[in-house]
Amino acid sequence: MENTETSVANGSVSAPLHPREEERIARLLGYNILDTEDDPLLDRLTRLASQITGTPISLISLVDRDRQWVKSHYGTQLRESPRKDAFCAHTILESESGIMIVNDAREDKRFAGNPFVTGEPHIRFYAGIPLQEGDSLPIGSLCVIDTKPNSLTEDQVKELHSLAAIAMDYISVQRSNK
């Protein structure tokens, strides 16, 4: 499996695969959450994430083999995108640091040519927290997005970590209940 950054035709850089990609995909599929209906609790969490950070868009997205699938969204109708264009595909590689922040996507070589930066919704700011149980493999992210450059305070980052943990706990409980 290729595990290096790869340039794509639009001038952005797609994320390398997770070092344990096959295990990560198996973990994701084990949750039986892909392509399921909207969930009111997760929708409240994404709305709260935007309110806490003052950003117009937030998502709970899951990264599978070829796409980013959006389980919950606030401020956008995005339901999925190709993995090669997904900021969240980069976020799942940030398990150790626990967050990926891009203050201005136009200034980041990974994203400057990304179709979500050069076109709608004109992403400038992105912050994402990997969704994972404890130290296990990440299945996706909770992220906030702005159409202007931005940054977060330490308190906002802590709150996003809390919301991501709540989302993951809820997803885990839902799996157990099925």
Domains in the chain with CATH codes: 6-177 (3.30.450.40)
**Token pair recorded at residue 11:** 């001038």
For residue 61, name the pLDDT band (cuts at 50, 70, 90).
very high
- How many Cα neighbours within 13 Å face the side chain of 18? 27
The pair of structure tokens assigned to 147 is 């159409």
Structure confidence at residue 11 as a pLDDT band (50, 70, 90):
low
Report residue 157 as tokens. 């980052």
Please give the average per-residue pLDDT across 134-150, as a whole number: 93
Taking residues 117-123, what's their average pLDDT? 95
The three-class DSSP label of residue 136 is coil
Give the Cα separation of 68 and 101 in Å (integer).
18
Predicted pLDDT of residue 116:
96
Statement: residue 103 has pLDDT above 50: yes
Write down the mean pLDDT value for the chain: 91
Torsion of CA 167, 153, 145, 161, to 10 degrees: -10
